[in-house]
Amino acid sequence: MRADGPGHSQPGHLVRRLTLFDSIMLVVTGTVGPSIFIVPADVMRAVPHPGLALLLWVVAGAITLIAGLACAELGAMFPEAGGQYVFLREAYGGFTGFLYGWVLFTAGNSTALAGMGIAVALFLGQAIPPLAADHVLIARTIFGLSFKLEQGTVVALVTVIVLTAINLRSVKVAAWLQNFTALAYLAAVLLIAAAGFALGHGSWSHFEWQPQGGVAPITAAGVGIAMIPLFYSYDGWEFLSWVGGEIKHPRRNLPLALIIGILLVVVTYLLANGVFMYALAPAQLAQSATPGAAAVGQLFSADVGRWVALFIALISIGGTSVGVLGGARIYYSMAEDGAFFGAMKRLHPRWKTPSTSLIAQCAWVCVLIVSARYDQLYTGFIFIMTLTYALTIGAVLVLRRTQPDRPRPYRCFGYPWLPLIYILVALVFVVSTLYSKPQESLIVLGLALLGVPLYFHWRRNGTIGASRD
């Protein structure tokens, strides 16, 4: 298939249907989730200085943009499905690429999807009381073991299954859904910020640092703690590279979409934080469990909080859809290489979507939701994903040396210093997480090792690389 063809396809190949606008909205929807309405409180507790908190949001956004610039070069070089899996395979070999995809399936993207499904259920229950997530539907004791099925679990399961069905039917329909949620997010943030600053009940004095009143001092450790939820909030931009095989004119549109999408996220995050700080004093913001809803309630009225919860549920639905869309393409690309279960490379004969990959992903995510184990894997997920980001950005350096003649329609700005800065920051974060959360981190590393025998089995049978070659 011609890499830059606008919609050209061959039998058994993905079809390029995503436009530049679709791609930008995918970056926004993939990155933005319920965290922007919750994380500001975590950051303020760690660094109780409004100016410094805003600065850290900028710093985290700048670090993310550096990663996006490097990934844009890689995406333009390899405009095919698989994204980071392909980049790691080309730079470090098939084994590294396989481990990335294996961890993504067992704990990474699947864990994030389970968490997003639960987030949909929680916020939908806040907006619509009859759908309260903690309402128990079934409670039984079987062979001395207690079993309980809550309404939130059912809503989360239905969310993942329905979004998988939508993605199975058409990537374009899925794109319309994420476009709608991204536009709704952008419009809502702009509206809340404009109305909040102009008409809301807030105070500019909240931006002044007032250390009295039992507020914790600012420390280097606090800054480090604040960066953890900030990295969580900016995670998700990489989904775009996963669907590179379905982007029209990818050598041009993929780099543009990454850069524009990340910049849109940074600007809206700053607007949201600014209006939250205008509405709530630093101590109030730090103590709030749901600062987004609390800030809007303070600015306007308490009744508006229910609408905010409904809006967050909508954003979570969009983010879940993007994760469903992107993750399946990774496993499809791996199966195409013979480095995953062969059935995963099957495309639906009519809709040209990776049907088996989507269904297998949905089944495993449902298991994680029912078992309620996703939360224990989440910290390990961030640990291992940050490590893969460092390897991905390092791939720019490696491929400049090993494949100097490969066409590069876009070259990373600030090479090599900006990629090196990102790698250094990411490795510091990885070491810090391993030190502070060793159990969760080692669990994910253990899951990675479980896949090693499978890789060497496929390699011994000569399937790895056969389809691609």
Residues 260-308 pLDDT 10s: 999 999 999 999 999 999 999 888 888 887 788 788 888 887 677 678 8
In a domain, 5, yes or no: no
Say if CB 274 and CB 54 are below 8 A apart: yes
**Residue 229 to residue 11: CA distance in whole angstroms:** 43
**Quick one: average pLDDT of 159-168?**
94
- At 59-110, the pLDDT tens digits run 999 999 999 989 889 988 888 767 888 899 999 998 998 999 898 898 888 8
In a domain, 333, yes or no: yes
Q: Which of 36, 40, 119, 441 is nearest to 278 (CA)?
A: 40
**Residue 438 to residue 455: CA distance in whole angstroms:** 26
pLDDT surpasses 90 at 163? yes
Sheet strands (E) in 277-352: none
Residue type, 459: R
For tokens 């995503």, the residue is: 18
Task: Identify the pLDDT of residue 463.
Answer: 64
In a domain, 15, yes or no: no
pLDDT surpasses 70 at 141? yes
In a domain, 47, yes or no: yes
**Quick one: average pLDDT of 188-209?**
86
SS3 170: coil
CB atoms within 10 A of CB 287: 14
In a domain, 7, yes or no: no
Task: Identify the pLDDT of residue 216.
Answer: 57
Confidence of residue 161 (pLDDT cuts 50, 70, 90): very high
**Residue 77 to residue 70: CA distance in whole angstroms:** 11
Domain CATH for 114: 1.20.1740.10
Q: Which of 430, 393, 377, 320 is nearest to 103 (CA)?
A: 377
State CA 190 to chain mean position distance: 22
**Residue 286 to residue 194: CA distance in whole angstroms:** 23
Task: Identify the pLDDT of residue 268.
Answer: 93
**Residue 186 to residue 27: CA distance in whole angstroms:** 13
SS3 249: coil
Helix (H) or strand (E) holding 137: strand 136-142
pLDDT surpasses 60 at 231? yes
In a domain, 354, yes or no: yes
Average pLDDT of every residue of the chain: 84
Task: Identify the pLDDT of residue 359.
Answer: 95
Domain count, the chain: 1
**Quick one: average pLDDT of 194-217?**
76
Helix (H) or strand (E) holding 93: none
Q: Which range marks the domain in which residue 239 is found?
A: 20-460
**Residue 257 to residue 141: CA distance in whole angstroms:** 52
Q: Side-chain half-sphere of 253: how many Cα atoms within 13 Å?
A: 28
pLDDT surpasses 70 at 465? no
Q: Which of 345, 205, 395 is nearest to 281 (CA)?
A: 205
In a domain, 12, yes or no: no
Task: Identify the pLDDT of residue 392.
Answer: 93
Task: Identify the pLDDT of residue 372.
Answer: 67
- Look at 439 and 13; give whichever has higher pLDDT: 439
In a domain, 14, yes or no: no
Task: Identify the pLDDT of residue 13.
Answer: 63
